[in-house]
Structure 1
Amino acid sequence: MGLFFKKRKVKPIFVGSYGNDLTRGIYVFHLDIDNGEILKKKFYKSLANPIAISKRERFIYVCYKNNTGRPTDGGLWQYASMDLQFGLVAKSTDHGKTYVNSYVNEDRTYAYAVDYYNSEVVVIAILKQKLIRVVQTIKHTGSSIDPKRQSEAHPCFIDMTPDHRMVVCDLGTDEVVLYDIGEKGRLYRNDELTLKLEAGSGPKKIIFSSDGQFAYVLNELSSQVFVYRYQDGQMSLVQKVMTYPTDEYIGQNTATDILMNEKGDYLFVSNSGHDSITTFEVDTTTGMLNTVDNTDTDEKPVQMILVIDKYVVVACQKGGTIESFELKRGESKGVLFETHFSYMVGEPVCLIEGRGL
């Protein structure tokens, strides 16, 4: 083969792992974009459990769980990343609060986060590209019918809508809450536009079609996707679909993540319990979903990302692996196929595509 080898074309991936005292932290992998192989490159140990990772340009934002009860633990931490390098820039711990999801606005002036455990939505100021402090805290109240998961409000996801409102999924109250954004990034709840879902649904996450015409709400507790037509903050129900084949599986299932490809003609949902990724074909005219196939994963898939619109990479917490699957068009059967590449990681729970290529 000689002294020279073909240089791999890769994309970096950051993975957050609960693990143990030796394996807990942030891993950096390279994904080979020619075959889907996962290559470990670097490990950054942390004292706390990383719950969620998001990014905005060269910055990575990590939500950490408070493992100690100390006021300096938990919160949202900001890192600068360049391929394998990962350096702490700033952090906002807010008296030890644990955030489970975050969003940073496009011009990087404010970060928004949700606290599942204290039923709060917070606004964090950013100054000179660094996280500073919490400047607004909003308390969610209410409950629903599940005695274990819905005895109180549990905001668990936050993002921006196509028409530049903030949207929060509250698993505890069965609500998709719309917020208007005011001066200095402050949020104002819009009760007129806030959506009340069927009791016991447990909304976990919402995504939008690329043209902004449709919204897809993933319901963790009922294992359903609700499809809505979206216009000026108004959501009208189009369809409800199950996320796994109920006629084939009688065990308990939890819907954990949802994503859509760039073209918007396929939608993917991960299922913990059934341990699978379900692929739906999307009618881009009506927004409606049609189940295409079901792909087995390792135990308890919890989050997915789509890399270069070709590979679905999934973190399987209980199985202790990250796996890659290839999206193939024009195949006679199926859409998502195993690459047969995976990597063992202690309890991976979150991941994000880094910069590269």
Structure 2
Amino acid sequence: MKPIFVGSYGNDLTRGVYVFHLDIDNGEILKKKFYKSLANPIAISKRERFIYVCYKNNTGRPTDGGLWQYASMDLQFGLVAKSTDHGKTYVDSYVNEDRSYAYAVDYYNSEVVVIAILKQKLVKVVQTIKHTGSSVDPKRQSEAHPCFIDMTPDQKWMVVCDLGTDEIVFYDVGEKGRLYRNDELTIKVKPGSGPKKIIFSPDGNFAYVLNELTSQVFVYRYEDGKLTFIQEVTTYPTDEYVGQNTGGDILINGQGDYLFASNCGHDSVTTFEVDASTGMLKAVDNTDTDEKPVQMIMVVDKYVVVASQKGGTIESFELKRGESKGVLFETHFSYMVGEPVCLIEGRGM
């Protein structure tokens, strides 16, 4: 069994964090616990035994929103600390390896923040960086919208996707965890793309950028902070679907031979085969999901678990190898959750 934490918008009765167990033998999803929250959990990350939840500010109060830290052990989930910066909403977070600093991005106020951690607890925001700029989409790109933050696989730079400015922004990490923008390494993607998330191959040689607005994945070679463009692919079969679609999430398996991209609108997950030597992608399968599959995780390199916000479910799919290589099969196991928007695998049993 593997524990999975799921953040749900839901309503006053169903909003909060759910704990499920995934049966790794057959993909069955079993509900174990529910922790109600007043605010919407918008993103979940983890570092060792701690889970970090970004909450959306539902009330406008300065004590709402922010980043909350929980200690977790299987089903137990207890609040340790929280950092709320005048009620700001963060949409993604990352905690460094030695748990001395947390980093978060504020889509709505165009900010990247550094939060100090003292005695293993979140304390307060110690640095705020304002992103500026815009791009070609008048609705979604009228201002900067940093929406994802992570560390490069070589542990040298923080990297931020800015959907509003069409940038992949690199930051040097200085003393006391402070960030300094590195304009030499920062790149602009094709105008109107709206980069939402960047992931790296397990060997760290390739980077994959999911673009929300154009439903494309850009492939780059990654070497010592430098991204070199290789390929672009569309995340859904455009010849079969003429409706509106946006990129939901992107995921690569532990072996690095398959990449998955979810589609909100087409409501599916496309599986790409990854060429180990070039990093290039080849679409091999497209699997239907529930409505608006906004986030995915991979469990034991065998199951893709999908959270579908509009459909109100989490579903598991099994990655088949051998003759059916790259095909995601329905396990026929799902669980209804009110507007699930984020999920993460917990510490194993």
1:115 maps to which of 100, 106, 110: 106
Deviations 1:58-105 (A, max 9, x none): 000000000000000000000000111100000000110000000000
1:20 counterpart residue number: 11
Q: Quick one: distance in 1 between partners of 2:188 and 2:313?
A: 36
Partners in 1 of 2:326 and 2:117 — Cα distance? 45
Does residue 340 (structure 1) correspond to residue 332 (structure 2)? The answer is: yes
Shift of 1:132: 0.3
2:194 alignment partner AA: G
Deviations 1:262-321 (A, max 9, x none): 110000000000000000000010000000000000000000000011100000000000
Residue of structure 1 aligned with 2:26, choices 1, 16, 35: 35
CA distance in 2, matches of 1:170, 1:333: 34
Could you tell me how far apart the structure 2 residues matched to 1:332 and 1:138 are?
A: 47
Runs of 4+ in 1 over 2 A off after TM superposition: 331-334
CA distance, structure 2, for counterparts of residue 171 and residue 343 of structure 1: 31
Partner Cα separation in structure 2 for residue 226 and residue 220 of structure 1:
11
1:58 maps to what in 2? 49
Residue deviations 1:98-156 (CA, integer Å, cap 9, x gap): 00000000000000000000000000000000000000000000000111100000000
- Contact kept? 2:273, 2:326, Cα under 8 Å: no
CA distance in 2, matches of 1:332, 1:111: 41
Once the two structures are superposed, the pairs formed by residues 90-129 of structure 1 within 5 Å of their partners are 90-129=81-120
SS in 1 for 2:102: strand
Report deviation, 1:212: 1.0
Q: What amino acid is the match of 1:252? A: Q
Q: Which runs of 5+ in 2 are unaligned?
A: none
TM-score, length-normalised on structure 1? Answer: 0.97
AA partner of residue 135 (structure 2): S
Give the SS at the match of 2:176. Answer: helix
Look up the match of 2:141.
150
Equivalent of residue 225 in structure 1, options 217, 220, 229? 217
Aligned equivalent of 1:173, options 165, 170, 184: 165
In structure 2, what is the Cα distance between the partners aligned to 1:174 and 1:302? 20
Structure 1 residue 332 displacement after superposition: 3.7
**CA positional deviation for 1:331:** 3.0
**In 1, Cα distance between the equivalents of 2:232 and 2:174?**
33
Q: Secondary structure at the match of 1:290?
A: strand
- Residue identity over aligned pairs, in percent, reads 87
Q: What is the number of residues matched between the two proteins? A: 348
Partners of 2:16 and 2:326 in 1: CA distance: 35
Amino acid at match of 1:309: D
CA distance in 1, matches of 2:345, 2:255: 18
Give the equivalent residue in structure 2 for 1:78. Answer: 69
In 1: Cα distance, 2:69 partner to 2:226 partner: 34
**Secondary structure of 1:291's partner?**
strand
CA 1:332 to 1:79, structure 2 compared with 1: closer, same or farther past 3 Å? Answer: closer
For 2:170, the aligned partner's letter is L
**Unmatched tracts of structure 1, length 5 or more:** 1-9
Structure 2 counterpart of 1:144, which letter?
Answer: S
Distance in 2 (CA, whole Å) between partners of 1:233 and 1:356 is 33
RMSD: 0.7
Displacement of 1:49: 0.2
> Could you say which residue in structure 2 is the equivalent of 1:7?
none
